[in-house]
Amino acid sequence: MPQLNSLKTRKTLKVGAKSYDYFSLKAAEKTLGDLSRLPNSMKVLLENLLRYEDGSSVTVKDVQAVKKWLKDKRSDREIAYRPARVLMQDFTGVPAVVDLAAMRDAMKALGGDPKKINPLSPVDLVIDHSVMVDFFAGPGAFKKNVDLEYERNGERYEFLRWGSTAFDNFRVVPPGTGICHQVNTENLAQVVWTMKEPTATVKGKKTGGKTIAYPDTLVGTDSHTTMVNGLAVLGWGVGGIEAEAAMLGQPISMVIPEVIGFKLTGKLKEGTTATDLVLTVTQMLRKKGVVNKFVEFYGPGLDDLALPDRATIANMAPEYGATCGFFPVDAETIRYLKSTGRKADRIALVEKYAKAQGMWRDKKTADPVFTDTLSLDISTVEPSLAGPKRPQDRVPLNTAAESFKKNLVEVFGRKGNESAVSVKGADWELEDGAVVIAAITSCTNTSNPSVMLGAGLVAKKAVELGLTVKPWVKTSLAPGSQVVTDYLKNAGLNKFLDKLGFNLVGYGCTTCIGNSGPLPEPIADAVTKGDLVAAAVLSGNRNFEGRVNPHCKANYLASPMLCVVYALAGSMKIDITKDPIGYGKKGKPVYLKDIWPTTKEVADTVAKSVKLSDFKKRYADVFKGDTNWRKVKAPKGLTYTWPTTSTYVANPPYFQGMKKEAGTISDIRGARPLAILGDSITTDHISPAGSIKKDGPAGQYLIANGVAPADFNSYGARRGHHEVMMRGTFANIRLKNEMAPGTEGGVTRFMPSGEGMSIYDAAMKYQKAKTPLVVVGGKEYGTGSSRDWAAKGTLLLGIKAVLVESFERIHRSNLVGMGVLPLMFKGDMTRKSLGLDGSEIFDITGLAGPGKNGNIKPRMDVPVKITRSNGKVEEIIVTCRIDTAEEVEYYRHGGVLPYVLRNLAGV
């Protein structure tokens, strides 16, 4: 840890019998002036700069720029930020470990030491993305799903067990433990991190290394890493590529952000939940526009906001578009650390450190200075859903039925008078609006005892009144930690959830990430036959089309309590605020008010059922795993022996033939569009996580390699194999390519012939002809999960540049990280205003030049010549979205990993 300590800020903090060195913001005030009203999230960044000041990557001018921010409330200063640790889930973690293993091979080929490829920062990988809801609504569902998970993922798990022994600073939390963000918030996060310095020799004498205390910070390979912001731990999602660079010692290059203050007052009124609150916050912040900005919550409303409620709000930062949604340290933070079993000396350190650094909030704390602010009186929040396609599209519960009927016509193109469809073997029919999935899922809500126990209370009242779930609804309960099932059992509520079919199906992300499993065949057939607009109601954070289940066109985010209610009602067309939910004993109508618990009932149940002993028991040996995990055989060795027959992991081609020196930057000439896409193209559209179609390129590849369709697993599970993943790029069944009007799915036209074919097949034909490719898109391109394969697949298809109206933050960074050029239209120019149809040829110039980086400068203007099929030529100017000098270097090297590899190899 380099420490020039120019401002003499290194001090000692005594906590009980222990002493810690730390970099004091109070001491920095002697040089910089008053920092007390700097936002808490900015104080974390400032401490990071003080601690890592080395005169080159971090200078005193960087530190001074943070102080200047207080006056200007914004900055264009680029800083090098180094988080304390990295968090991964297995869908993004497997390809990251694949890359590290491939880098060891490449290091060897370059004549370097493979041991240099090792995480320098602590890395935790939580296996939570692999379990699927194949079995449900029965007491044996959990065991059957776990057995199937191990059967499907044996190769991946062997590979991860190798990684956990082959790499230093790398720990794996086994399957069946919980969701990474919930495990992080409940156990891994410490709020204040500590590290023992190595011993040093001063004047010939060895001196013992001191223990340094500093804020717990992280980046994660999942968008919802932000959940831990609720615990005052600064963290956000990055692509797997950027995370790999961070764990190998590269700083994260970032511009000092704007910070939007969100003032909270009041408290939740009767009948509302933390889910209603977060959907309201998400809608407000989307409207405000907070992309690439920090959001920090403050105000008297925090006094009545429990930490799980804060975590729920912080979790959905990707949905409201912010880099993070940060909460300060206060008495509630300390209460939560105690209640979840953190060690007493760590809790004492957190409180004393926060107070010493001016990071502690109480009623006397002055409001920080922000770039801009907005406010919400929490008591005005009303019961809500969000959908049918985007998390920011909040719908008040009392208008949900009316809204759905309107969307049937306006969004889904139905006339509204379609007839119901018969279901094989059933005496009932399905119609538009049928809720075919009701899933209590996702860390967003399953981390919150109030809504989970609330769901149990709804189930209890419903069962006691004689209600049952409609027979076409696939129900599931997939908590983010084992503690949830403990407190449901403590309250005696699990049996009522079981009675309604909300049996435990697994501990993992499941439905929220598309692992909802297949619908029962008669239901799926009826939906397909009638082309029905079937619905899913889930307590998740994402409801993009094609994500939850291929048979669910309408998807609504809701509290776990409303998931139970909609399972009982069975239809989005029922106004559950007025109409009967169903008919109970003796045919008596049962209404929402009859089964909805009071705030006091929920609070009393939480107080009695959530126990410290359960947290201590569940997290006592979190890395050990169950007997299934301990039976997984791990290969040994510094480098990995790649199995030639595996369709789960393979040595990727990124470093093959790599030379010791980076090449020169050249212009992109004669490029053809592979796809022209609309607004809000998500990483799910670009790189699906869900099921693999047997008649698509990826399915055909697997069949050709001896994999039966029943064993395809999902795209997410196969992210360690580039041959599968590049065939799945742009293969989402709901993708609409404007080059192939009237089609849906991964289809394009090969130019100049105009022949229709899959995007993958066209890309391979272009590669054979040595034709570079571009993708053109609209607003918010790459929104959604921080999916590195959305950039890796783009590169492997031969796409050299992506030209859109605006990018999502992480995906833009990922494209640069893979050596793909991100470009942005200027002003009102769009693909539509230019009349692009895919027959054009693009020449992207102004990139090549005499220097090692050519002519590329951050955010420079780039000329693009467009040649139409009729020979007409038009030149436009677009913006290069390589945003920092560091990113220019990444692009020159062909991506961040070749850049890091060459640096570590000393070439």
In this predicted model, which residue has the larger pLDDT, 734 or 483?
Answer: 483
Q: Tell me the pTM.
A: 0.89
What CATH code is carried by the domain that includes residue 780?
3.20.19.10
Q: Are residues 366 and 390 in the same domain?
A: no
User: What's the pLDDT score for residue 899?
Assistant: 93
Task: Please determine, for residue 569, whether its predicted confidence score (pLDDT) is greater than 90.
Answer: yes
Q: Are residues 444 and 499 in the same domain?
A: yes
CA distances, 377 to each of 95, 331, 792 (Å): 44, 22, 44
Task: Please determine, for residue 329, whether its predicted confidence score (pLDDT) is greater than 90.
Answer: yes
What percentage of the chain exceeds 70 in pLDDT? 99
H or E element: which one contains 295?
A: strand 294-298
Task: Please determine, for residue 415, whether its predicted confidence score (pLDDT) is greater than 90.
Answer: no
Among 380, 412, 432, the domain boundary falls at 380
> Residue 286 — pLDDT band, cuts 50, 70, 90?
very high
Among 342, 357, 380, the domain boundary falls at 380
Within-domain flag for 637: no
Half-sphere exposure of 843 (CA within 13 A, CB side): 11
Q: Strands, DSSP E only, in 431-533?
A: 435-440, 474-477
Nearest Cα to Cα of residue 372 among 317, 319, 305, 296: 296
User: What's the pLDDT score for residue 203?
Assistant: 67
Within-domain flag for 594: yes
Residue 236, strand partner residues:
219
Q: Are residues 274 and 404 in the same domain?
A: no
Report which listed range, 89-103, 584-598, 804-818, is most confident: 584-598
Task: Please determine, for residue 454, whether its predicted confidence score (pLDDT) is greater than 70.
Answer: yes
User: What's the pLDDT score for residue 208?
Assistant: 65
Among 380, 399, 429, the domain boundary falls at 380
User: What's the pLDDT score for residue 733?
Assistant: 87
pLDDT, tens digit (0-9, with 9 covering 90-100), for 492-544: 999 999 999 999 999 999 999 889 999 999 999 999 999 999 999 999 998 88
Cα 853 to Cα 857: distance, rounded to the nearest angstrom = 8
User: What's the pLDDT score for residue 418?
Assistant: 84
Nearest Cα to Cα of residue 189 among 447, 365, 2, 11: 447
Q: Are residues 411 and 375 in the same domain?
A: no
Q: Are residues 781 and 875 in the same domain?
A: yes
Average pLDDT over residues 100-116: 93
Within-domain flag for 367: yes
Q: Are residues 557 and 604 in the same domain?
A: yes
Sequence-distant (≥ 6) Cβ neighbours of residue 174 within 8 angstroms: 127, 623, 624, 625, 626, 629
pLDDT, tens digit (0-9, with 9 covering 90-100), for 193-240: 999 998 877 667 776 689 999 999 999 999 999 999 999 999 999 888
What CATH code is carried by the domain that includes residue 447?
3.30.499.10
Task: Please determine, for residue 589, whether its predicted confidence score (pLDDT) is greater than 60.
Answer: yes
Cα 578 to Cα 43: distance, rounded to the nearest angstrom = 49
Average pLDDT over residues 341-355: 98
User: What's the pLDDT score for residue 786?
Assistant: 65
User: What's the pLDDT score for residue 1?
Assistant: 63
User: What's the pLDDT score for residue 247?
Assistant: 92
Q: Are residues 396 and 313 in the same domain?
A: no
Its domain, for residue 116, covers 85-380
Q: Are residues 376 and 399 in the same domain?
A: no
**Domains identified in the chain, total number:** 3
User: What's the pLDDT score for residue 242?
Assistant: 86
pLDDT, tens digit (0-9, with 9 covering 90-100), for 859-896: 999 999 999 999 999 999 999 999 988 899 999 999 99
Sequence-distant (≥ 6) Cβ neighbours of residue 379 within 8 angstroms: 266, 267, 268, 269
Within-domain flag for 16: no
Pairing assessment for the beta strands 582-583 and 474-477 based on DSSP bridges = unpaired
pLDDT, tens digit (0-9, with 9 covering 90-100), for 730-764: 999 889 999 999 999 999 999 999 999 999 999 99
Q: Are residues 375 and 406 in the same domain?
A: no
Q: Are residues 806 and 833 in the same domain?
A: yes
Q: Are residues 443 and 364 in the same domain?
A: no
Task: Please determine, for residue 468, whether its predicted confidence score (pLDDT) is greater than 90.
Answer: yes
Within-domain flag for 829: yes
Average pLDDT over residues 632-642: 92
Pairing assessment for the beta strands 170-173 and 123-126 based on DSSP bridges = parallel
Within-domain flag for 305: yes
Q: Are residues 369 and 447 in the same domain?
A: no
Within-domain flag for 726: yes
Task: Please determine, for residue 80, whether its predicted confidence score (pLDDT) is greater than 80.
Answer: yes
Task: Please determine, for residue 131, whether its predicted confidence score (pLDDT) is greater than 70.
Answer: yes
The rounded mean pLDDT for the chain is 95
> Residue 809 — pLDDT band, cuts 50, 70, 90?
confident
Within-domain flag for 44: no
**Cβ-contact 557, 386 below 8 angstroms:** yes
Question: Which tokens belong to 340?
Answer: 């979840």
CA distances, 668 to each of 129, 844, 846, 847, 863 (Å): 38, 5, 9, 8, 11
> Residue 907 — pLDDT band, cuts 50, 70, 90?
low
